[in-house]
Amino acid sequence: MTIQTTHFIKNTLVNKCLLVLLLVGVSFTESLAKGKSKKDTIVTISTQFGDMVVVLFDETPQHKTNFLKLAKEGFYNNTTFHRIIDDFMIQGGDKNSKDDDKTNDGAGDIGYQIPAEFNPKFKHVRGALAAARQGDFVNPKRESSGSQFYLVENHAGTPHLDNQYTVFGQVISGLDVIDKIAEQPKGPRDRPLADIRMTMKVEKLKKKKITKRYGYSYPA
């Protein structure tokens, strides 16, 4: 056997080994990716009128990450739905609503805003979760509040808000709870006469379980 032939065989064996390792690595990476995609995080918003279960969209990552962070930290616990408009929406998430001063509800500032993440796929349908924000005259980039959000109550949706406010989630259970909250008696500035306080629970489940439990269908 010549030296050249020996080198050729050795090189061939080495290349085959590298190819096998590469394929194993790719297969392992794909398995990890598939494993991640099989689960999702849901948030349960509990009130005296019942629970609302929300899924958050991966396509709005900054809003999803921020909302989950605040919910996990307990930021939203004991805040209220401080603004309700029947046949429109219910709004909450202001830290000011935790105190006894009802006049400052809705004016709270968490100290940062989130860049808009408009996506034409996500509309202001009934049960849509969207971020509140300041008006265009002081917020021309339409950046979202760091904590305040609203849930669309109108059964026909509110399409005039599409691409104006970031939609980053959807209520998949408890739409009737939104209706009950929106119908409560209210006073000035659309604030409910009686506090409607919330708590939040974050839970990670298999997507198949979410679909089976709530009937929510994930896009293919």
pTM reported for the whole predicted model: 0.83
Domain 40-214 CATH superfamily: Cyclophilin-like (2.40.100.10)
Distance CA 177, CA 90 (A): 11
Distance CA 80, CA 95 (A): 9
Q: Kindly give the confidence (pLDDT) of every residue in the chain, 220 residues in length, as a single tens digit, with 9 standing for 90 and above.
A: 443 444 444 454 445 444 444 443 444 344 444 445 799 999 999 999 999 999 999 999 999 999 999 999 999 999 999 999 999 999 999 999 999 888 999 999 899 999 999 999 999 999 999 999 999 999 999 999 999 999 999 999 999 999 999 999 999 999 999 999 999 999 999 999 999 999 999 999 999 999 999 999 998 7
Distance CA 200, CA 56 (A): 14
Distance CA 184, CA 167 (A): 25
Cβ atoms of 50 and 180 within 8 Å: the answer is yes
